[in-house]
Amino acid sequence: MTEAEAPAIELVGLGKSYAGRPALVEATLTVGRGEIFGYIGPNGAGKTTTIKILAGLLKPTSGDARILGRSVRENPLDVKARVGYVPESGAVFEKFSPAEYLTLIARLYGIPAASIDERRNRWLEAFGLSGDRDRPMTSLSKGTRQKVCWISALMHDPDVLVLDEPLNSLDVEAVRLAKDLMARFASEGRTVFYSSHLIEIVEKLCTKVALVQRGRILASGTVDEVRTRFNAPSLERVLLDLGHEATPA
């Protein structure tokens, strides 16, 4: 299969254990190009573990994951070059200013020096951070640092966005911008893998979803298909019922 034919994301019997305790168990999933794909489940279900594997931050214990046909095991640097990752934590190098941090990120991705300033400044303006560009990030709010994380994920123009609770701490304007960016990515044939507890947004934005619990993917498909499989009126109801050991029909 050529790169052009490969799905955006594939999980192939993916497993991850910590000190012998499974966090992800034989997860198998295919995410097509041009999708906003929701990855949902209760706390501790294995969502962040999956995302960190896709972002190249964790090595799987078993199985594999592929981004555009590239294995996270065999080609980790190629995978990282194609992925933009927004973590839940809003983690940045706090002694840097946003401008310094984003310049470092751009250099790590090999962005040509002649275009770094234009890209960085364009995104800082888009997220309303031009006035904060030279302030140390220790002085910035968590929401502002989260905006910097968004920009760092976008600087290298990735093919796949991997998002872990990316709207946490964002103000209304930034949430609107983030949702617009996700929609634009999908319209351009790129892919968004989106984990969130904001189920109403998942239902409105996502073309397909997968439901994970205790490290196992229980169901995947369109929002309507997953709701129907669990005989539930909404994804929120599905997740609430999982607390009572709901099983698919």
pLDDT for res 244? 53
Bridge-based pairing of strands 191-195 and 36-40 is parallel
- Strand-pairing partners, residue 15, are 62
Q: Which residue has the higher pLDDT, 110 or 90?
A: 110
Report the distance separating Cα 199 and Cα 201, nearest Å. Answer: 5
Mean pLDDT of the chain: 92
Q: Which of 12, 42, 31 is nearest to 215 (CA)?
A: 42
% of the chain exceeding 90 in pLDDT: 87
Average pLDDT over residues 163-168: 94
> Rounded to a whole number, what is the largest CA-CA distance in the chain?
57
Res 248 pLDDT > 50: no
Would you identify the CATH topology of the domain 9-90+159-242?
Answer: Rossmann fold (3.40.50)
pTM of the full structure = 0.93
The strand order across the sheet containing 208-213 reads 83-86, 160-164, 191-195, 36-40, 208-213, 216-221
pLDDT of residue 95: 85
Task: Give the DSSP letter string of 158-186.
Answer: -SEEEEESTTTT--HHHHHHHHHHHHHHH
**Comparing 26-30, 94-98, 106-110, 207-211, which segment has the lowest mean pLDDT?**
94-98
